[in-house]
Structure 1
Amino acid sequence: MNFKRGSRDEELEINFIPLIDVLLVIIIFLIVSATFSRTSELQINLPTADANAPQEKPLTITVEVDASGRCLVNGKEANGAVVSDLSAALIEAGKAGPADKEPTIIINADGKASHQSVVNIMEASRMANYTHITFATQVNSH
């Protein structure tokens, strides 16, 4: 006689198939993400040259602006408040170099100079058709 109703003598088993499915998905995800991280880096070997640097220096026009807004173009006083006067001074300074090469405008602006005075220099450079503009900076020795 069997007094245990509904009870069977089957052993319990752990079903590994869902576990294997989850692990395969995780492995595929790791492989794909590892491939992307490796391709985002670029190995660049820059070329080297044994030739000397060209001796010809480009024409530069230095424009200095102090805290009060006074402008000097290559050491000569210019009216920085009027853009057309400043543009004429830049064109005059640009005549010192070769006609086929555009000069580089170097802006030396005081740290307390107004933003408008720097914008006036940039606008005057545009009016003179000078597109190469750079700003001079000073390295902190701290």
Structure 2
Amino acid sequence: MAIQFRSGSREEPEINLIPFIDILLVVLIFLMLTTTYSKYTELQVNLPVADAEQPREYPREIIVSVGQDGRYAVGGQVLESASVEALVRALQQAADGSREPVVIISADAAATHQAVVNVMDAARRTGLNQITFATQQARGR
């Protein structure tokens, strides 16, 4: 019995690169998206220091103080309640029909953000549109 071997040209096996390129593109897009989102988690916030020369004098001003514990004082009068409605009533009394008074929010550094937002909401409800924040000068200047 004789075994016959094929003679002639041999074909080289071909590697199909298209599925490999598709997978690499998907991985590349995935890495680009996850890298972009990881930048947002690394944000660092440095609060600015106010360096004002002289405090401005306003013709009619309403000073709202926000304490560390969340209590409010409008024009030096401490409020019994820390609700937005109590702030609205106090701001209406302090404005007393004055023409465009300026609300100056003097918040403690340890006061919560929500307490300051409550003052801004009460001023908006009262119709007081001019709001500013009291700051102190940086030390060493």
Unmatched runs of 5 consecutive residues or more in structure 2: 1-56
Q: How far apart, CA to CA, are the structure 1 residues paired with 2:134 and 2:79? A: 19
Q: Counterpart amino acid of 1:72? A: A
Q: How does 1:66-81 map to 2 (within 5 A)?
A: 66-79=67-80, 81=82
Q: Counterpart amino acid of 1:66? A: G
Deviations 1:47-74 (A, max 9, x none): xxxxxxxxx9521000001111111000
Q: Secondary structure at the match of 2:131?
A: strand
Asked whether the 8 Å contact 2:58–2:102 carries over to 1, the reply is no
Q: Give the equivalent residue in structure 2 for 1:114.
A: 112
Asked whether the 8 Å contact 1:63–1:106 carries over to 2, the reply is yes
Q: Counterpart amino acid of 1:84? A: E
Question: 103, 106, 118: which is aligned to 1:105?
Answer: 103
Sequence identity of aligned pairs in percent? Answer: 43
> If the length of structure 2 is used for normalisation, what is the TM-score?
0.56
Q: How far apart, CA to CA, are the structure 1 residues paired with 2:68 and 2:115? A: 10
**Which has the bigger relative contact order, CA under 8 A and spacing at least 6?**
2
RMSD value over aligned CA atoms?
1.7
Q: How far apart, CA to CA, are the structure 2 residues paired with 1:80 and 1:121? A: 13
Task: Spell out structure 1 runs of 4+ moving beyond 3 A.
Answer: none
TM-superposed CA distance for 1:79, in Å, is 4.7
Q: How does 1:17-96 map to 2 (within 5 A)?
A: 58-79=59-80, 81-95=82-96
> If the length of structure 1 is used for normalisation, what is the TM-score?
0.55
Unmatched runs of 5 consecutive residues or more in structure 1: 1-55
Q: Secondary structure at the match of 1:92?
A: helix
TM-superposed CA distance for 1:141, in Å, is 2.3
Q: Counterpart amino acid of 1:128? A: T
Q: Give the equivalent residue in structure 2 for 1:141.
A: 139
Asked whether the 8 Å contact 1:105–1:133 carries over to 2, the reply is yes
